[in-house]
Structure 1
Amino acid sequence: MTIQKTTSTMAILSGILLSGLLGLSLDEAEAQSNYRLKTLGTGSSPYVVSTVFADIVNNNTDDRVQVDATGSGPEHAVTTARGVTQFTSSFSPGIAALMRDGEGMFTSLPQASDLYGNMRMLFSYPMGLYHGAVFADSGIETYEDLKGKRVFTGPPTGQARKTVEPLIEAITGYKAGEDYEVVNISWDAASQSFQDGNLDAYFNPTQAPSPILTQIAMANKIRFLSIPEVEEGELSAVLGRPGYRVVELPADIYGENQVNTEPARSIGVTIGMATNKDMPEDAIYTMTKAFWENLEEKQEALPQMRNLSLDTVFQDMNTLLHPGAIRYYKEVGLDIPENLIPPEAQ
């Protein structure tokens, strides 16, 4: 497979990313390799990680990374596996397992398992947790109150929907499209629709505090739905997946307009930055090294980045590492799990 490069540009909302694209001479621009990184919508954890990754790479290496915040996680995996795009920051262990086995949203893609063989990891990171947000005056206080409501559970083809809808059903018995209305829109459209009052409940897997939800909470009182204490096994449809666990959202993390008086129990997810196995080893080594060596400065300004650490770089990882990433992690003294070493790095 031949990796396809792109030289197109796009408008990036983040000033961080824009800063990495300015100040280049023509000769410098021509000397650089240009790569595309697919990620989720503006304000999501993968989007924040992507913009920081691109900014660091663009300012500290001879390569350039352009962020494209369109599409869903499974779509990003397929385009990266095919070499149409070079990175995805939304490759979760759950998506990896479904792609590997040709299940879930990949059942209609006969070559899914073969494409999965093209995927290689750079690092894992905590995506955050599933925020189930409602306005405090909506009358919705528990998952049971979602009956008959307009609910955004994620884009139609994304992994979020495959998580939220089984979660709601496990807690309440409610079926999507029967007991509550599922709204079919994108991440960006959903955040705006929720702010405009056109959604009763808005689910978003993201680090806390989320930029979007912080903005909403500045002008509105909001509540986050909490998973009730249930018998072990009742949530197995969700917690049985790779990289999923129950976590707590602090009661005051969104300030005085968050009406929760106790932590809200939710689902925490691990996700990862992935690339194609045909990406040059030297390029991935250089990018990985630059990212981790310049991350601390970004973490000071961006709370969403503070959970990223070399201590958890392999957490829940179930896809082989790229040799370039392995080279860096060995250089800094990390022990590489044997099951993550690909044939080309043996």
Structure 2
Amino acid sequence: MKQLAYAALAALLATGAASAQDTTLKMQTIEPSLGQAITMATFANLVTDKLDDVAIEVAGGGAATLHQMETARGNLDMFMTSPTIHILMSKGIAMYKNEPEAPELAKNVQVLMWFPYGEYHFAVRGDSDITTLDDIEGATVFLGPQGGGAYNAAKGWVEATTGLVAGEDYDAIKANWATGFQSFLDGKVDVYVNGCIDPCQQFIQFTETEKIRFIGPEDHEGEAVDKFLGKFRKRAEIPAGLYENQVNDGPVMSNDTAVGIGVRADLDEEQVYRITKTFWENLDGITTDAPWAKALSAEYAAQQLGTAQFHPGAARYYKEIGVQ
């Protein structure tokens, strides 16, 4: 766990080398402890280390939906995107309904790569009498920060597969990521939810001293589940044996989706091409210290998802290697 945490911290603090570079790009990502932020920080650190004339500064915290707007306005260079939030921005709906310029601004952001968000892990202590999602009625659950995308996705999966409604059938606590995890460590919540690519640092930390069980629904089929999954989510299994103190004796069904690194559309094409090429050509060198990175692939990264278009520099690289 310490190795992963230190690697992530080093990536997030890589900004100190920026002054020695010809070009400094600003990346904003979400809560630094989350797997998606670690993926993006690792991307930034690897590119900065391998290119002499480019540095990517990383700042963590805040909402990806806001970062998308700030990138479109030219205040950031890179951010975490998703197929859904770009569609919402391009239509000026949901969280963008009070932003009249959102549809036009959506043209100013493009995609460099997609990567798996990671399976949504619904976790309980190993000795808990909660063994499936259908058992959480009356339980205290951390789904993610309320109002955020992770919260809504976790809540939606529970309702679609079990019929249980947050705030009615179980208590969905209000907390940020750090407080939610600490509450689970302290035994103050029954169920902790985190979407991440295994091995996840939160579960590595927890299982250093305690047993853990990942739970899934009794039934993951049906019209409600298909509607929840839509175009951009998919069923995905969490295997047994991932963590030393994991008590599952078989795989657990959950769901996964795609997120990505978005960029300003007006970034230089040659620069984005070199950044993209540098990352993928050096990724294999970090998988020993960051085993979760084995889940990343250029084939996955180059998918056309939603309304967001690929930056021409990234598209050139993916076409060059035959994945687009």
TM-score over 0.5 (shorter chain) = yes
Q: Do 1:270 and 1:316's aligned partners in 2 also have CA atoms closer than 8 Å? A: no
Which residue among 94, 109, 129 is the counterpart of 1:104? 94
Q: State the distance in 1 between where 2:103 and 2:13 align.
A: 38
In 2 relative to 1, CA 227–108 (structure 1 residues): closer, same or farther, beyond 3 Å? farther
| Structure-2 residue corresponding to 1:281 | 269
Whether 1:329 and 2:318 are equivalent positions in the alignment is yes
Q: CA deviation at 1:235?
A: 0.5
In 2, distance between residues paired with 1:227 and 1:316?
A: 30
- 1:151 and 2:147 equivalent? no
In structure 2, how many angstroms separate the alpha carbons of the residues matched to 1:225 and 1:335? 35
Indicate yes or no: 2:31 matched with 1:41.
Answer: yes
Deviation for aligned residue 1:178: 2.3
Partner of 1:220: 210
- Check if 1:52 corresponds to 2:35: no
1:249 corresponds to which of 238, 244, 261: 238
Determine if contact 1:48/1:304 at 8 Å carries over to the other structure: no
Q: Distance in 1 between matches of 2:105 and 2:189?
A: 36
- Give the drift of 1:306: 0.5
Instruction: Report how far residue 190 of structure 1 moved.
Output: 2.0
Closer, same or farther: CA 155–112 of 1 in aligned 2, 3 Å: farther
TM-score w.r.t. the length of structure 2 is 0.89
CA distance in 2 between counterparts of 1:105 and 1:134 reads 32
TM-score, with structure 1 as normaliser? 0.84
State how far apart, in whole Å, the 1-side matches of 2:82 and 2:250 are.
29
Which one of the candidate residues 14, 17, 36 is aligned to 2:11?
17
1:66 is matched with 57
Q: Report the residue type matching 2:19 in the other structure.
A: A
CA contact (8 A) 2:126 2:247 kept: yes
Tell me if structure 2 keeps the 8 A contact 1:121–1:273.
yes
Preserved contact between residue 38 and residue 67 of structure 1 (Cα < 8 Å): yes
Post-superposition shift, 1:199? 2.1
One-letter amino acid matched to 1:238: F
For 1:312, the equivalent position in structure 2 comes to: 300
Contact persistence 2:302–2:323 (CA under 8 A): no
- Is the contact between residue 125 and residue 315 of structure 1 (CA under 8 Å) also seen in structure 2? no
8 Å CA contact 1:73–1:159 kept in 2: the answer is no
Counterparts of 1:143 and 1:205, CA distance in 2: 16
Q: How does 1:228-247 map to 2 (within 5 A)?
A: 228-240=218-230, 242-247=231-236
Report the secondary structure of 1:67's partner residue: strand
Is contact 1:245-1:269 (8 Å) kept?
yes
Count residues in correspondence: 317
Residues 85-100 of structure 1: pairs in structure 2 closer than 5 A: 85-88=76-79, 90-100=80-90
Cα distance, 1:118 vs structure 2: 1.6
| Residues 30-71 of structure 1 deviation map (CA, whole Å, 9 limit, x = unaligned) | 553222222232343312211211111211221221222201
Please report how far the alpha carbon of residue 249 of structure 1 lies from its aligned counterpart in structure 2 after TM superposition.
0.5
Is 178-187 or 318-327 further displaced after alignment?
A: 178-187
Report deviation, 1:250: 0.6
SS in 2 for 1:138: coil
Consecutive unaligned residues in structure 2, runs of 5 or more: 1-5
Contact 2:15/2:58 (<8 A) preserved: no
State the superposition RMSD in angstroms.
Answer: 2.3
Pairing 1:84–2:112 present: no
Provide Cα deviations, 1:138-189, integer angstroms capped at 9, x if missing partner.
3222222222222221223321122111211122322222222222222233
Q: 1:162 to 1:102 in 2, by over 3 A?
A: farther
Runs of 4+ in 1 over 6 A off after TM superposition: none
Inter-partner Cα distance in structure 2 for 1:231 and 1:49: 31
Give the drift of 1:129: 0.7
Q: 1:221-249: per-residue Cα shift (whole Å, max 9, x none)?
A: 11111133344322133211x32100111
1:178-226 deviations in Å (ceiling 9; x for gaps) = 2222222222332222212222211111101111111111211111111
